[in-house]
Amino acid sequence: MVDLRHEVMNTLSHPDFREPDVRAGRERFFARLAGVGWIRVVTEFAGDSDRVVTAFPQISDPRRLGRFGQ
């Protein structure tokens, strides 16, 4: 994830798509990532300690999955 730090911050600042996560208090942010497809960044909002839970590249377009929680 360290190698993707810039992409993670950009995804949070300017997501191409976002949706709620299956877990309450979390949200998914997505951005197009050159050469891979997309990057998914999952955040957790917990007051003073908001955090990035995970971030990883994915091939599939999240807008086309057509189902919540995938």
Query: pLDDT tens for residues 15-64?
Result: 999 999 999 999 999 999 888 899 999 999 887 888 999 999 999 999 88
Q: Is residue 50 part of a domain?
A: yes
User: Is the distance from CB of 21 to CB of 28 less than 8 angstroms?
Assistant: yes
Q: Is residue 31 part of a domain?
A: yes
What CA–CA distance (Å, rounded) separates 1 from 51?
14
Q: Is residue 17 part of a domain?
A: yes
Higher pLDDT pick, 31 / 66: 31
Q: Is residue 70 part of a domain?
A: no
* Number of domains the chain contains: 1
Full domain range(s) for residue 21: 2-60
Q: What is the pTM of this model?
A: 0.83
Higher pLDDT pick, 2 / 23: 23
In this prediction, residue 69 carries a pLDDT of 47
Q: Is residue 7 part of a domain?
A: yes
In this prediction, residue 66 carries a pLDDT of 56
